[in-house]
A and B are shown apart, each in its own frame.
Chain A
Amino acid sequence: MAESSNIVRVTDVYKTFQLGKVEVQALKGVNLEILRGNYISIMGPSGSGKSTLFNMIGGLDKPSSGKVFIDEVDIAQLDAYELAWLRCRKIGYIFQTFNIIQVMTALENITLPMVFAGMNNDAATEKGLQLLELVGLGDRYSHKPFELSGGQQQRVAIARALANDPAIILADEPTGNLDLTTGEEIIALLKRLSQERNVTVISATHDFKMLNVSDQVVWIRDGTVDKIEDREELSISIGKIDTRH
């Protein structure tokens, strides 16, 4: 652990999609190192390649070339079983569309990853209830997704992402389908959890509300990393913007 505190390392990643006869280059040589425990925002306009990068880091899709390392393990080398293990134990995913499994209650959604991880039913239920409490939904455990508001569904998704104490939480536009205040609440929750549980949060977004809580912002434009700003530089540049107006 001492030799590297990078939880994620992306080296020279290209991704090309074949759309009929046209090739779309979504990522054009992305390099990125993400420190353990940081809160990272991947910022960029729509279509800049954020989701594509998100999928690469999460092991949901494979780069056309280049490598992605999670905890210094090249995820291209993992077999299907190890990849499933990675998704189950190491990474928690949060999506713009919440992706709560509709046929299950809030609690069942949260316990499913624990079941996959081999935890017994009672322990999983107990931990699931704790997690619901943690995200502020202690009394909603038996609710079906359609009985919950968007913000509540996203809270369930966050609790589910934390189920197996992952090292990384990956969030793709977590506030994209939420109104302003609900979005702020979700961001604050993610920030709090990342600090309390020391989880690395990597969030793809074009929501500037994220800037305040980020330790580092990766600006993406047209499939390449435009610039990477740390918190200190960021407050300066935001300060500039503020004084300009």
Chain B
Amino acid sequence: MVDQHIPLSGKEDTTSVNRQIVLPFAKSVEISLKSIKVRFFRSLITTMSLVLAVSFLGFVRVSNDVANGLLATQDRQLRQAVIRAGYDIGPTDTNVGASPKQRWIIILSLMVCVVGIVNAQLMAVTERFREIGTMKCLGALDRFILRLFILEAGMQGLVGAGAGALAGALFALIGALLRYGPVSLAEVSWVAVMGSFAIAIAVGCILSLIGVLYPAVVAARMQPVEAMRVEQ
């Protein structure tokens, strides 16, 4: 019959130094990028609510920056224009902060966005049961799966938030140009605009990561049998 050699892996059994399971970071990034690319449409939908929420945040913040630039000129006519634009400022105020109402709307929109991301990511996990189970059969640890999902969300978050912040800032600046004229762009503090832009991107990335946390943990904890069973 078959001759009884000692199989290759039998040797490594005794030397525990070889007992390592790894997924190098570069490889994780490569796999995540590939997943996003292959499921581009799905990734786009997941990212869409983020783009909208972040662009709203960017729009509000940059609009405020423009109004502050105009107020800083101490010009009474420009001040009137800002008031006419709907900002509530008292006679002694020298800048517009986010009003409580504005703040609430922003927070609400960001929360809706997170819920949307959680929902989309949970669906993505369900779609990928088999892939996750297969990876686990090949030796993937829970944290590899977790890392892949978080990396994907991070990249989606960066791109989505970048696009959203850009769109929001552009709309705000174009709106300002139409409403107040070229003086608005001359007076606005570009440092403040860049700050708002950065904040919007950061918030977007954080939201994307918060949104994927629960779905990623669900995916990572999944047992290979559960994952394999979902055929019928």
A residues sitting closer than 8 Å to B (CB atoms) are: 1, 5, 36-39, 55, 58, 60-61, 71, 80-82, 84-85, 87-90, 93, 95, 97, 99-104, 112-113, 115-118, 160, 164-167, 194-195, 197-200, 215, 231
Chain B interfacial residues counted at CB < 8 A: 43
Q: Which residues of A contact B97 (CB under 8 A)?
A: none
Known: A60-B223, A115-B23, A118-B20. A71 touches B13 (CB 8 A): yes
Q: Are A198 and B134 in contact (CB under 8 A)?
A: no
B145 to chain A, nearest CB (A): 11
Q: Return the chain B residue nearest A230 by Cβ.
A: B1
Compute how far the CA of A37 lies from the CA of B12 in the bound complex, rounded to whole angstroms. 17
A22 to chain B, nearest CB (A): 18
Check if B4 is an interface residue, CB within 8 A of chain A: yes
Compute how far the CA of A211 lies from the CA of B224 in the bound complex, rounded to whole angstroms. 29
Q: Are B130 and A37 in contact (CB under 8 A)?
A: no
A143 to chain B, nearest CB (A): 14
A129 to chain B, nearest CB (A): 18
Q: Are B225 and A87 in contact (CB under 8 A)?
A: no
Report which of A87, A89, A93, A197 forms a contact with B12, defined as CB distance below 8 A. A89
Q: Return the chain B residue nearest A194 by Cβ.
A: B2
Q: Are B138 and A85 in contact (CB under 8 A)?
A: no
A153 to chain B, nearest CB (A): 12
Check if B124 is an interface residue, CB within 8 A of chain A: no
Q: Which residues of A contact B1 (CB under 8 A)?
A: 38, 215, 231
Check if B203 is an interface residue, CB within 8 A of chain A: no
A181 to chain B, nearest CB (A): 24
Q: Are B136 and A87 in contact (CB under 8 A)?
A: yes
Q: Are B35 and A103 in contact (CB under 8 A)?
A: yes
Known: A80-B142, A97-B231. A37 touches B2 (CB 8 A): yes
Compute how far the CA of A115 lies from the CA of B70 in the bound complex, rounded to whole angstroms. 58
Known: A99-B130, A198-B3. A89 touches B139 (CB 8 A): yes
B residues sitting closer than 8 Å to A (CB atoms) are: 1-10, 12-13, 18-24, 27, 31, 34-35, 38-39, 130-131, 133-142, 144, 223-225, 228, 231
Compute how far the CA of A82 lies from the CA of B27 in the bound complex, rounded to whole angstroms. 22
Q: Which residues of A contact B3 (CB under 8 A)?
A: 37, 198
B62 to chain A, nearest CB (A): 38
Compute how far the CA of A21 lies from the CA of B78 in the bound complex, rounded to whole angstroms. 74
Known: A117-B21, A167-B9, A198-B2. A88 touches B223 (CB 8 A): no
Compute how far the CA of A38 lies from the CA of B4 in the bound complex, rounded to whole angstroms. 9
23 pairs across A/B with beta carbons < 8 Å?
A37-B4, A37-B5, A39-B2, A85-B21, A85-B139, A87-B137, A87-B139, A88-B21, A89-B139, A99-B228, A101-B135, A103-B31, A103-B39, A112-B135, A116-B22, A116-B140, A117-B20, A118-B20, A165-B9, A198-B2, A198-B5, A198-B7, A215-B1
Compute how far the CA of A33 lies from the CA of B106 in the bound complex, rounded to whole angstroms. 65
Compute how far the CA of A118 lies from the CA of B142 in the bound complex, rounded to whole angstroms. 17
Q: Return the chain A residue nearest B131 by Cβ.
A: A101
Q: Which 3 A-B pairs have the closest CB atoms?
A: A88-B139, A165-B8, A167-B7
Q: Are B225 and A199 in contact (CB under 8 A)?
A: no
Q: Return the chain B residue nearest A90 by Cβ.
A: B9
Q: Which residues of B contact A101 (CB under 8 A)?
A: 131, 134-135
Q: Which residues of B contact A164 (CB under 8 A)?
A: 9
Q: Are A81 and B10 in contact (CB under 8 A)?
A: no
Highest count of chain A CB atoms <10 Å: which of B130, B131, B139, B231: B139
Q: Which residues of B contact A165 (CB under 8 A)?
A: 7-9
Q: Are A60 and B34 in contact (CB under 8 A)?
A: no
B11 to chain A, nearest CB (A): 10
Highest count of chain A CB atoms <10 Å: which of B12, B21, B35: B21
Q: Return the chain B residue nearest A165 by Cβ.
A: B8
